[in-house]
Amino acid sequence: MSDAALGESEFDHDTAVRRRAPGEYEAAVSAGWSIGEGVNGGYLKALLGRALRDALPHPDPFTVTAHYLTATRPGPAVIRVSVVRVGKTLSTGTASLCQTSPEGAEVERVRALATYGDLAGLSGEVRTSARPPEVPAYAECVGLAEAPAGVEFDVPPLAGRLACRLDPHTAGWALGQPSGRGEIRGWFAFADGRPVDALALLLAPDTLPPTAFDLGLRGWVPTVELTTHVRARPAPGPLRLAIRTRNLAGGFLEEDVDLWDTADRLVAQARQLARAGRE
Amino acid sequence: MSDAALGESEFDHDTAVRRRAPGEYEAAVSAGWSIGEGVNGGYLKALLGRALRDALPHPDPFTVTAHYLTATRPGPAVIRVSVVRVGKTLSTGTASLCQTSPEGAEVERVRALATYGDLAGLSGEVRTSARPPEVPAYAECVGLAEAPAGVEFDVPPLAGRLACRLDPHTAGWALGQPSGRGEIRGWFAFADGRPVDALALLLAPDTLPPTAFDLGLRGWVPTVELTTHVRARPAPGPLRLAIRTRNLAGGFLEEDVDLWDTADRLVAQARQLARAGRE
């Protein structure tokens, strides 16, 4: 398959929003980004990011926080955007994704608060002290749709949209041998070859398996809140992700994600607060 | 001075809010928490946190994101709270701090999005893999109002309200010798001895000098966005803070803060996106 161009891929189609009134957008939550019991939170964040990009004068998400309120279902949705402030270099807005319940009531699914800017307008100075994670080459990592021998599982739709790969050193949990370190590393890419742009950086942090699996926990790890800082436009090629949990306590955990491009640039940092699944 | 009781300290007085209508609160931004050109962002976050605590059914901030829009000035303010969702264990709301400009227009200063819960209702399980930072004993650290010999500076009002202390190993920048590592460590406490509760954890991450100073930058480091996860009620005594910047690039930087209590519990984690000052 040839690479999908920016604007023409599955991701672009499934995050399309149509303005029907000032600050009000129609969207269709695709079933193609589902996993486990829900719709992927990064995909929903990118949907909100599209509507925010339309409503704000600046093109790129700099910092976006989403609070996940109720379980989003595939199907129609309305996104309401409110512009909070427009400045010279930064602008801020809120976005809310709502769906209609079977009883006909409007239910809010996700609320976001975001500040946008222009990544192309930033200085070229880079003084990053963090080092890229040691992730084996893409071809040496494990596809998320590849089950280990003897393990049966249903490949979630999300895995088909992505060409993510997992560092085998952080995949022991799939064979019943979690390391206990709370670390997941791997690669992020779109299955249809779409380039990774700033909008895709809202999706990417939430696409590898949860670190909770490497801590020996099982089950769904619902995100309470996810904040992403987009710091640069990625160079072409897949991203390397390093995800870490250092504080599992009281039934909650954080997940810290560093996202690196092929030019060894730290292009985004994300942190989420999630509820721990049952062990 | 004997220790100020919870509810009777300067911090409690200066974060007091008065409900004048449903979802609308009067507040007075105190000049006592100023530093450099502005009012401390952690103090403003705690002000919003007080209003949110009044409006939401759950008592404790679990995750609070604040976007700093325009420069807050000491003086009267209005806080508007909107309840987004009330669930069984978590509730979500937004809060907005506004002031009136000299021309009589209402200007929004800070917008927050927060989810509250009940820390007392969490399980007692702690599986934290992070280790407390190595900070010298409180008495061996340097008070923020103590100038190095030969250095003259105006003690900011904030330093008088707090009894924070800086690890001398991360204070070289004050003598013109920044380490370049982007690390600041030290202690947080209230000058009047008030206990550190969940609300104070919204203030604390933003009270030590910016890591940018340890990177050799000077000048004001305005916060764009600050997210705090409160994970546990702190044990009595001062907190240890470890602050780190790993990615200064394009004129922006993140600051990651871990906050530890005297029982070696990681009680909060915070991350901000800030603009770098001039070198």
Distance (Å, rounded) from C-alpha A241 to C-alpha A133? Answer: 8
CB A269, CB B247: distance < 8 Å: yes
Look at residue B275 and tell me whether its pLDDT is greater than 60.
yes
Q: How far is CA A109 from CA A41, A57, A138, A152, B229, in A?
A: 11, 25, 35, 32, 21
Mean pLDDT for the stretch of residues A174-203: 96
Which pLDDT band, with edges at 50, 70 and 90, does B28 fall under?
very high
> Cβ of B63 and A124 within 8 Å?
no
Q: Which of B66-70, B147-151, B191-195 has the lowest average pLDDT? A: B147-151
Look at residue A1 and tell me whether its pLDDT is greater than 60.
no
Which pLDDT band, with edges at 50, 70 and 90, does B21 fall under?
very high
pLDDT score at B81: 98
Which among B123, B127, B249 has CB closest to A126?
Answer: B249
> Cβ of B63 and A224 within 8 Å?
yes
pLDDT score at A152: 63
Look at residue B36 and tell me whether its pLDDT is greater than 90.
no
- Local structure of A255: helix, strand or coil: strand
Q: Could you give the residue ranges of the DSSP H alpha helices within chain A?
A: 10-14, 41-55, 157-161, 200-203, 211-214
> Cβ of A122 and B84 within 8 Å?
no
Mean pLDDT for the stretch of residues B2-22: 92
Look at residue A184 and tell me whether its pLDDT is greater than 70.
yes
pLDDT score at A60: 98
Look at residue B219 and tell me whether its pLDDT is greater than 90.
no
The sign one gets for the Cα dihedral A82, A95, A113, B199 is: positive
Mean pLDDT for the stretch of residues A104-117: 98
Which among B112, B181, B231 has CB closest to A247?
Answer: B231
pLDDT score at A149: 63
Residue B130 with chain A: CB contacts under 8 Å:
246-247
Mean pLDDT for the stretch of residues A223-230: 98
Mean pLDDT for the stretch of residues A159-188: 95
Mean pLDDT for the stretch of residues A11-27: 97
Which pLDDT band, with edges at 50, 70 and 90, does B3 fall under?
confident
Which pLDDT band, with edges at 50, 70 and 90, does B153 fall under?
low
Tens digits of per-residue pLDDT, A39-77? 999 999 999 999 999 999 999 999 999 999 999 999 999
pLDDT score at B152: 63
CB B28, CB B77: distance < 8 Å: yes
Q: What is the DSSP string of B81-145?
A: EEEEEE-SS-EEEEEEEEEE-TTS-EEEEEEEEEEEE-GGGS---EEE-S-------GGGSEETT
Pick the more confident residue, B60 or A157: B60
Pick the more confident residue, B176 or B146: B176
Mean pLDDT for the stretch of residues A198-203: 98
pLDDT score at B146: 76
Mean pLDDT for the stretch of residues B173-196: 96
pLDDT score at A216: 93
pLDDT score at A153: 65
> Cβ of A252 and B62 within 8 Å?
yes
Which pLDDT band, with edges at 50, 70 and 90, does A261 fall under?
very high
* Proportion of chain B above pLDDT 90, given as a percent: 86
A vs B: CB pairs below 8 A:
159
Look at residue B241 and tell me whether its pLDDT is greater than 70.
yes
pLDDT score at A103: 93
H or E element: which one contains B104? none
> Cβ of B231 and A215 within 8 Å?
no
> Cβ of A271 and B273 within 8 Å?
no
Residues in chain A: 279
Which pLDDT band, with edges at 50, 70 and 90, does A155 fall under?
confident
pLDDT score at A4: 87
Distance (Å, rounded) from C-alpha B143 to C-alpha B140? Answer: 10
Look at residue B279 and tell me whether its pLDDT is greater than 60.
no
Which among B69, B84, B229 has CB closest to A254?
Answer: B229
Which pLDDT band, with edges at 50, 70 and 90, does B244 fall under?
very high
Which among A90, A111, A227 has CB closest to B227?
Answer: A227
> Cβ of B94 and A113 within 8 Å?
yes
* Residues in CB range of A160: below 8 A, 6 or more apart: A32, A145, A191
Look at residue A147 and tell me whether its pLDDT is greater than 70.
no
pLDDT score at B7: 84
Mean pLDDT for the stretch of residues A166-190: 95
Question: Within 10 A of A236 (CB to CB), how many other CB atoms are there?
Answer: 10
> Cβ of B225 and A227 within 8 Å?
yes
pLDDT score at B149: 62
Which pLDDT band, with edges at 50, 70 and 90, does A251 fall under?
very high
Residue B247 with chain A: CB contacts under 8 Å:
128-130, 231, 266, 269
pLDDT score at B148: 63
Which among B69, B108, B224 has CB closest to A63?
Answer: B224
How far is the alpha carbon of B229 from chain A, nearest alpha carbon, in Å? 7
Task: Name the range with the highest mean pLDDT among A157-166, B82-91, B137-146.
Answer: B82-91
Quote the mean pLDDT of chain B: 94
Look at residue B2 and tell me whether its pLDDT is greater than 80.
no
Give which of B175, B166, B176 is closest to B145, Cα–Cα: B166
Q: Which of A147-156, A163-172, B4-13, B167-176 has the lowest average pLDDT? A: A147-156
pLDDT score at A35: 85
H or E element: which one contains B51? helix B41-55
Which pLDDT band, with edges at 50, 70 and 90, does A150 fall under?
low
Q: Which of A89-98, A182-191, B32-41 has the lowest average pLDDT? A: B32-41
> Cβ of A128 and B215 within 8 Å?
no
**ipTM of the complex, rounded to two decimals:** 0.96
How far is the alpha carbon of B66 from chain A, nearest alpha carbon, in Å? 9
